[in-house]
Structure 1
């Protein structure tokens, strides 16, 4: 994410992968439709040169609204959206969604994605120049899958109990009343539907 002239966080790249197959659904730069202070290149890995090239070639979305519409082609109100520090993602998209599984909250609410990827998956991410939102989305998906597998195993070994074993409290995007600037970058999201068309980002 970059920083707009009003100091709010602004979406500059969006990536989404399918929860079940890992297929890339959306992965594109987002040319800001607002005046920008900076692109946070050190952390995002995205420069204005990248943006201009994508704009000239027509290989980017123009503004967060266009990016959000692209995501909504794969997401319904019943879709479970999986994200890490998902409040940041939804705030940047100006999107309130009723069903969110946040992998950060599942693991205590404080651990970063790179830390979880290393400790749970044994995979190092975010080692280059800035974050790759597609890499982050894939890691978030794998962490969610590991949690689901562990939960299913726990349920099957516990007689008379179907209660989920979740670390941390439940977070709902519906609790967002207004959008505020965020300090942390998080462009990774995953979604999952109940009707066989489930996805992850």
Structure 2
């Protein structure tokens, strides 16, 4: 039987069910059938929407570079972001991937006018009165390793917190870290435009 889940992966949790390093894994939060696995991944120090399924077609389609699908990230960065930095991110910047320069594809980037309504992170972001932070909404159609962090660092605003909020039309709306939502195939496929 094919199974489909959307989860809110907490901060400092690996996007897998086992660890040889003693780090927390998805198995510490979710009791799922043994044949269910994550589609793609979120870094240990990132949080947010992660898809799990035992439907191999989903993995093939979403991880195929020819199948462009939107991923929306909410990113808290160090400092007050400038319009020039936003423009650079929108047009694509050159980052280092596997030791080689890589020009990122054009992205949709905007500055949140106020902090978005997100759950508190545990442990919390370090707070420094003298250095403000900004929140960005970054929408990508590609997913290189640690791409968002490399992009914001390239324009001078290191990432403090990274939340994947949306994949296509499937969002974290109403979810908290550690939440799991089982879904049926028709809805899952429709929301992901598969």
TM-score (norm 1): 0.29
**Greater strand percent: which structure?**
2
**Greater helix percent: which structure?**
1
